[in-house]
Structure 1
Amino acid sequence: MKGKVALSGMAFYGYHGYYTEENKLGNHYTVDLIVETELTAMNDELESTINYEKLYNSTKEVMLQPLKLLETLAYRIGKKILKENTEAIKVYVKVIKHQPPIGGICDHAFVELELERE
């Protein structure tokens, strides 16, 4: 049977952005993940599912690497999740940048991607 393992509202501080000031000052980010998988064993053991602690650590590793675009962040997170979790079928990634520097008031900007195993 297919199932999903998700993490919502993972909070990070990162130095991502197109502009030099963003790379120096940094910003607050939130990441949501939904990973689709086959849940077949259902034996109440961690090995029978996708470990969400591992998902968090993989996401954190990518978030620590400064990048220019939210799209690149989301893509790299998704690819890393698929690579490190062979049981993952599909991954949905949402990267949110809080108070983006756009010259006006804006609560957040975000990018959503869905990647499937090839």
Structure 2
Amino acid sequence: MTDRIALRGLRAFGYHGVYEHERREGQEFTADVTLHVDTRPAAASDDVLDTVHYGDVAEAVTRIIAGDPVDLIETLCARIAATLFAFERVQAVDVTVHKPDAPITVPFDDVTVTIHRERG
């Protein structure tokens, strides 16, 4: 499938991390998601009910980021991916979580984890 719906830069404040100060103080996380969806039914009908509503996707992703803390952004990616499969038209997802304020002692721009999952 080649059709994709992508949302970039979804931001929310979360309390994820392995260190106590990350869990206590929190930080902003950003997520990029790509949904692999057959868009032909929506294109033919011009009806949002025949696609995946990206507003609903944005809200679902940010709820996960702002929700229950996890140690690893790998786990956060997996939770986001699982949530996206609640949208029945989604066949596969790519999820990237950015942690630009990761506790690293050398200069850096960003830390990301990217996963690809298929409906199984």
TM-score w.r.t. the length of structure 2 is 0.91
Which residue matches 2:13? 13
Are 1:66 and 2:53 an aligned pair?
no
Structure 1 partner of 2:30: 30
What is the CA distance between 1:2 and its match in structure 2? 4.6
Distance 2:21 2:2 in 1: 44
**CA distance in structure 1 between the aligned counterparts of 2:112 and 2:32, rounded to whole angstroms:** 11
Give 1:40 deviation, angstroms: 2.6
Aligned to 2:91: 89
More strand by share: 1
Residues 4 and 34 in structure 1, CA contact (< 8 A), matched pair in contact too: yes
Using the TM superposition, name which of 12-21 and 96-105 deviates more. 96-105
Gaps (5+ residues) in structure 2? none
| Pairwise CA distance, 1:104 | 2.2
Deviations 1:41-73 (A, max 9, x none): 222111111100111111122112211100000
**C-alpha contact 2:33 2:94 (8 A) present in aligned 1:** yes
Q: Corresponding residue for 1:77?
A: 80
Distance 2:104 2:40 in 1: 47
Instruction: Percent identity, please.
Output: 28
Unpaired stretches in structure 1, ≥5 consecutive residues:
none
Q: CA RMSD in A?
A: 1.3
Residues of 2 paired with 1:55 and 1:93: CA distance? Answer: 12
Moved more, 98-107 or 16-25: 98-107
Per-residue CA distance 1:17-37 (angstroms, 9 max, x = gap): 000010111112110000001
- The residue type paired with residue 34 of structure 1 is T
- Number of equivalent positions: 117
Cα distance, 1:99 vs structure 2: 2.3
Query: Which runs of 4 or more aligned residues in structure 1 lie more than 3 Å from their structure 2 counterparts after TM superposition?
Result: none
Partner residue in 2 for 1:103: 105
